[in-house]
């Protein structure tokens, strides 16, 4: 997965909008649900903060929204770019898949091997399972899955060391650029937004 040029989200059209009602939402900047400090918040000897800590924070902020999704009414939300729809399950899936994809990319870069080709359907499709009701158990599972993935990413950068974070890797992003890109996982959660009980 060679990346060059500016970071951007790939616009897509979702084929699952069919006859279902669609709700338009605007993104909001949410507060972190906890004030916990991660061991990855520590700075390197040069005073440079681990860029993975920002990924952990983006996931914490996403989970503040996920906590409200048990109130989802079954209607998908139109993304702010108007090209896709999101449901709670789809947003959680996209956050997790994005973290997995870039964790695998970091491992390949550090090992000096090619990354796997990017053949994800990503937001281009809404899976049948994405339409399922979002329950307390789904919320609890997301609260276990997503922080572990973000922490694993941050710990991998910490183990690689600060000297690796900005090392040029040809046309590919640096590890810091990958981490910066990954903070965008909050966007997926913002597309569903904060939901209130009716």
**Per-residue pLDDT tens digits of the chain, which is 198 residues long:** 444 333 333 333 333 433 345 565 544 444 444 444 445 555 544 557 999 999 999 999 999 999 999 999 999 999 999 999 999 999 999 999 999 999 999 999 999 999 999 898 989 899 999 999 999 999 999 999 999 999 999 999 999 999 999 999 999 999 999 999 999 999 999 999 999 987
Q: What is the 3-state secondary structure (H, E, C) of 24-54?
A: ECCCCCCCCCCCCCCHHHCECCCCCECCHHH
Give me the residues paired with residue 43 across strands: 49
Measured CA distances, 37 to 26, 54, 152 (Å): 29, 12, 15
pLDDT value, residue 18: 38
pLDDT value, residue 83: 92
pLDDT value, residue 1: 45
Domain spans, the chain: 54-118+125-192
């Amino acid at each position: 997965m060679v990346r060059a040029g500016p970071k951007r989200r790939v616009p897509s059209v979702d084929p699952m909008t069919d006859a279902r009602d669609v709700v338009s939402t605007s993104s909001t900047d949410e507060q972190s649900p906890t004030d916990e400090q991660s061991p990855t918040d520590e700075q390197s000897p040069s005073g440079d903060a681990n860029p993975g800590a920002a990924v952990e924070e983006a996931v914490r902020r996403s989970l503040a929204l996920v906590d409200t999704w048990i109130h989802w009414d079954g209607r998908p939300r139109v993304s702010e770019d108007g090209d896709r729809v999101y449901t709670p399950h789809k947003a959680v899936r996209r956050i997790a898949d994005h973290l997995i994809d870039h964790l695998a990319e970091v491992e390949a870069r550090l090992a000096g091997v090619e990354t796997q080709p990017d053949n994800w359907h990503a937001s281009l499709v809404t899976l049948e399972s994405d339409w399922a009701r979002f329950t307390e158990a789904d919320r609890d599972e997301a609260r276990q899955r997503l922080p572990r993935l973000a922490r694993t990413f941050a710990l991998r950068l910490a183990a690689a060391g600060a000297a690796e974070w900005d090392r040029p890797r040809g046309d590919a992003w640096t590890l810091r650029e990958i981490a910066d890109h990954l903070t965008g996982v909050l966007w997926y959660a913002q597309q569903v937004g904060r939901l209130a009980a009716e």
